Structure 1
C-alpha cells in the first residue's frame, strides 16, 4: 500500500475476499462455481500450464490468473469516466463491491461458512496454516515458535495446534528482547524444531535463524520490501545443519486447501472467529490502513 512492492497504478486494491456468485459466463466449466455459490477469491489462481503447475506446485505459478491485475485475456472491466482502464489487484480487487474474475479464482466452499471468515481464507489463514502444514510439515510433538501475532501468525499458531505440536510459542516484534529469546531457549532446550517468521522484517528473519535448533527449520512467510537482504553466519548455519525455506501463500493449492480449511472450521478444529476484531464498511478502509501502518495488530474485515 506504500509502494514496498512495485505495482502499476490505477488498480482497485484488495487481495483477500469472499463473495456470492451473481452470474457465470458461458465458457465457465460446469464443475466450476455456479450462481448463488459462496466462493473464496484466490489471488494466486494458477494457470495449470507452466512448469510449476506441471510439477503440482501451483503456489509457484509463473502465469497466475489475474497476472498484471487483469483478466485472463488481458482485459479489464472497470474504467474511469475518461476511459482510463482500472485493473483489479491480482485479478480480484476485493475493495470493489462487485468484480468480474476468472473462474479459476472463485473457489466454492461450504455455504455455511460465515463470509467474513471465508474472506480470510483467501490469504491470511491459508498462508499461516499452509506454512505449518504444507511447507514446514510440522509433526506431532515438535516445538514451534511463531514470530508475528497478526492474522498470518495467529493462523500459524492455530495450525500448529491442529498438527498437535508440542511446545507452541508466539512472539511479536515488540517482544523480541534477549529475555524473551532466553525463555524460548528454556522452553525448547536447544531451540525450536520450527520457527515460522510471519512479519517480513530482516531483523526478525535473522532472529528466526538464531531461535531454531541445530537441524531445525526456519520457514519464512512474511514478505519484506523488494530488494532487502538479511545476513547470517553461513559457517554456523552449515555447521548446525539448519534449514531455511520460503513459503509463498502457504504452499497451497486453492481448490484443495480453501475447502479443507473451511471444513476444519466447521468441525470446530480451527477457531477462525478469534481472528476478527472489527467489521467495517468500505469507507473505513483508510482508517484501517493507517492503523496497520501504526502497528495495530487488529484484524478488520470490510463487510458490504
Structure 2
C-alpha cells in the first residue's frame, strides 16, 4: 500500500510503498477514506516530540472495514468507522473506572516485539504511530481503536472527530464541564480550538472569546460560535480578555501547545476559574503560575483527547452534527491527496488553514 513515511525530524514525509500484515484475532484492516492533518503530527515532524523512524504518522482517520480477525465481533467488513488513538484494553483500572482514554495497558492491544510487525518494508518494521498510522491507504488496528458509525455520515467530516473534534468538544464538555451562562476564552483557533469553541457554545456559555494572531482564524471562530475575538498580535490578550469580561473568565483553554499561551490562559481567569491545557507543550518546558493566585481557588489542569469514552462520545458528536448543532463542514479548509501532506503541514504552520483533510477516494 502507499503511505507517507516519516524518516526523521525536520525532514519532509516521503510517499513510499509499505507492506501491511493480515489481521490477527482481534485486529481489523480498514481502508482509509479520509485523514485529517493534525498539529500533533507536526510536533513530531518538527522534532518537538520524538518518535522512532521509520514510521507512518497520522492519527485522525475514518474509513471502511475490509477484513476482521477471527475473534472480532463488534465489526464486520463494510462497516464505516472512525479510528481513535485512545485505544483501550477494557480491563485495567483506568478503563474499569470510566477513564479509557487513560488506559494503562495499551500493550494488550499492540503486537509483541517477537511477532511480525503490522507495518514493514522488505521485512523491516515500520513503526506504527499512536497505534493507528492514518497517512496510509490502509490501517491495521486493534478493534478497540475503532468506533462504528452510520453509513450516511460523510467520512471526511467523520475523520475530524477522530482527534481534533473529540479533543476540543470533549475538553469543554467532559474535562472542564463548562457551565451554562459562563464565560470562556480559548487560546488558538485551529482545529482543536474551534472544536472547543463549539463545545462551549453547545454547553451554553454566554461569552466565548477566541484568541489568535491570525485574522482569518478569528473570523472563522466567530462563525462557529465565538462571541468575541482578540488579536494576540496587537497587544496583551490577557488584558483584553479581562477588559471584555470585567475581571476574567470562568473557563480558559489553551489549544496551541505554547508555554506562554498556557500561562496567559491561566492569567485570564477570574477567582475560582479553571484553565484547561489541551495543546502539547514541548517536552521539558515548564508552565509557571503565580503561587499567590492559587489562594483565589484558580485551577490549571491537563486534558488528553477530551477525556473521552470515544465509543459513547463520538456517536453523540455525530448526532449533534446531524442535528445542525455542531458544524464540521466549516472546519475543513482544504482537501488534498496523500501526496499533499507536506503542503498541509506548511499551510498549518503559516496559519492558512483550520484543517486539511487528505482524501484517499
Query: Shorter-chain TM-score: what band?
Result: over 0.9
1:229 equivalent to 2:292? Answer no
Instruction: Note the C-alpha offset of 1:71.
Output: 4.0
**Aligned residue for 2:218?**
none
2:172, 2:327 → 1: CA distance? 16
Instruction: Note the C-alpha offset of 1:130.
Output: 0.3
1:187 equivalent to 2:244? Answer yes
Change (3 A) 1:10 1:179: closer
1:62 equivalent to 2:118? Answer no
1:275, 1:134 → 2: CA distance? 21
Using the TM superposition, name which of 85-94 and 271-280 deviates more. Answer: 85-94
Question: Structure 2 length normalisation: TM-score?
Answer: 0.79
Instruction: Note the C-alpha offset of 1:282.
Output: 0.5
**Aligned residue for 2:70?**
26
Where do 5+ consecutive residues of structure 1 fail to align?
Answer: none
**Aligned residue for 2:189?**
149
**Aligned residue for 2:327?**
271
Q: Check conservation: 1:129, 1:158, Cα contact below 8 A.
A: yes
1:110, 1:148 → 2: CA distance? 31
1:300 equivalent to 2:356? Answer yes
2:266, 2:354 → 1: CA distance? 27
Secondary structure, aligned partner of 1:62:
coil
Instruction: Note the C-alpha offset of 1:89.
Output: 1.0
RMSD between superposed Cα atoms in Å: 1.8
Instruction: Note the C-alpha offset of 1:11.
Output: 1.3
**Aligned residue for 2:304?**
248
Q: Check conservation: 1:45, 1:254, Cα contact below 8 A.
A: no
Secondary structure, aligned partner of 2:141:
coil
Match of 2:210 among 153, 165, 170: 170
**Aligned residue for 1:77?**
118
**Aligned residue for 1:8?**
52
1:4, 1:302 → 2: CA distance? 23
Where do 5+ consecutive residues of structure 2 fail to align?
Answer: 1-44, 215-230
Q: Check conservation: 1:202, 1:228, Cα contact below 8 A.
A: yes
**Aligned residue for 1:219?**
276
1:160 equivalent to 2:204? Answer no
2:81, 2:299 → 1: CA distance? 36
**Aligned residue for 2:179?**
139
**Aligned residue for 2:82?**
40
**Aligned residue for 1:90?**
130
1:50, 1:141 → 2: CA distance? 37
Secondary structure, aligned partner of 1:59:
helix
1:205 equivalent to 2:247? Answer no
Instruction: Note the C-alpha offset of 1:151.
Output: 0.2
Instruction: Note the C-alpha offset of 1:88.
Output: 2.0
Q: Check conservation: 1:147, 1:173, Cα contact below 8 A.
A: no
How many residue pairs get aligned? The number is: 298
Using the TM superposition, name which of 71-80 and 290-299 deviates more. Answer: 71-80
Match of 2:92 among 47, 50, 60: 50
